[in-house]
Structure 1
Amino acid sequence: MLEQIGNPSPEANARADRQREDDRRRVEALNRKDCIKTLDQDLGNRFRRCSLTNYEIYNPAQRDVVDRLKVLQNDVVEHVQAGRGLFLYGNCGTGKDHLAVAILRKAAWEGLSARCINGIKLFGDVADAWRGEGSEGDVIGPLLRPDVLLISDPVLPSGITESNQRTLYRLIARRYDRRLSTWCTTNVAGSKGAIELLGNQVYSRLIDDAIRLHCSWECYRERRRIT
């Protein structure tokens, strides 16, 4: 009798294993739900349903970029956990945000914490904090926590002020030092334009060990207007 108590039966062990597996899956499902909910709050209605499947291809160059991103989508967990980035650049209106968000949503679905912010909101939130009783750290702090952060159009259409440049650098540098994955989409034609727009310190950190893809095709909105 004592031997039976001290040595559970194979059936009992199997039940315990199934219970542990059920508990693990339940925790994973809750975490996935939280990650997707948090990201969707950032994305809003326009980008919430972005995927590679519903991205419209009208130029052969798009196919090459989408094919590269399909590979990344399959490897996104390893990519993010390694602290690697994604840098999409090119003409305005080419769907860079759509493409980046499609991969970002896959990361969230895999249970990785993911956030998205654009330059207007980032610098606006910092300005609001300064006008109140807050600080830049109140805005940047939460953006240092997620496994992956997408920064869309980090430079405002009017350009970037010295103050905003410092804010952007501090955010990028601190995530870089922590080996956190930071992605970026920006409207520049190449590395020279990116350095002029973002500054070499920011740009060099964003592209270090990152996948860089040039979205060189024409603006979707302009094409739709003409056709």
Structure 2
Amino acid sequence: AGTGLVMTGNCGTGKNHLAVSMAKSIVREYLASVQITDVMRLTRAVKNTWRHGADSTEEDVIERFASLDLLIIDEVGVQFGSPTEMTILQEIINARYESVLPTILISNLTFEQLKESIGERIVDRVTDGGRNRLAFGWESYRAIAAGITA
């Protein structure tokens, strides 16, 4: 249905684990095209088209990310926050939104910090006005498994 989702929470709380499980299930059940990436790789893929003799164009790369049945973007808010990065992220998310394709954003920031980092417009579109978000508010599983508690 094109509904997106934002997952926020500290490191080690299971955001990626859940995203990978969802991706595998969706691929198995629907034979869907799904990609899990992070903001830096997504930005780098677009920027690599700007080199002389690049194999693909900027439009090709944006179209590839914009046309996947599901795109999961991790490490949102970790990037430098440059205008170029924000423009690339916004263009891909807007294209997916207009095509009614779901996008999942994963961040270690709080929901409010995420809106400050990448902009309220992007977060609003992915969460359908803030309704589609999961906050992973518990301690890191890795820290608990290692015997480290806050």
TM-score, normalised via structure 2 length: 0.85
**Between Structure 1 and Structure 2, which shows a larger proportion of helix residues?**
1
1:132 is paired with a residue of what secondary structure?
coil
1:202 is paired with a residue of what secondary structure?
helix
Q: Deviations over 1:104-156 (max 9, x none)?
A: 11110112221221112111222222123444323211112221111112333
Instruction: State how 1:32-43 maps to structure 2 within 5 Å.
Output: none
Alignment gaps of 5+ in structure 2: none
Q: Deviations over 1:14-65 (max 9, x none)?
A: xxxxxxxxxxxxxxxxxxxxxxxxxxxxxxxxxxxxxxxxxxxxxxxxxxxx
Corresponding residue number in structure 2 for 1:143: 65
Q: 1:117 aligns with which of 9, 29, 37?
A: 37
Confirm or deny: 8 A CA contact 1:136 1:167 kept in the other structure.
no
Residues 203 and 133 of structure 1, relative CA distance in 2, 3 Å threshold: farther
Q: 1:98 aligns with which of 14, 17, 41?
A: 17
Corresponding residue number in structure 1 for 2:107: 186
Which has the higher relative contact order, 1 or 2, with Cα contacts under 8 A spaced 6 or more apart?
Answer: 2
- Structure 2: how far apart are the matches of 1:138 and 1:113? 16
Could you tell which deviates more after superposition, 87-96 or 101-110?
87-96
Instruction: Specify the structure having the higher radius of gyration (Cα).
Output: 1
- Structure 2: how far apart are the matches of 1:160 and 1:93? 24
Aligned pair count?
144
Tell me by how many angstroms 1:170 deviates: 0.1
Q: 1:196 aligns with which of 96, 100, 116?
A: 116
TM-score, normalised via structure 1 length: 0.58
- Structure 2: how far apart are the matches of 1:89 and 1:187? 6
**Between Structure 1 and Structure 2, which shows a larger proportion of strand residues?**
2
- Structure 2: how far apart are the matches of 1:156 and 1:129? 22
Alignment gaps of 5+ in structure 1: 1-81
What is the CA RMSD across the aligned residues, in angstroms? 1.8
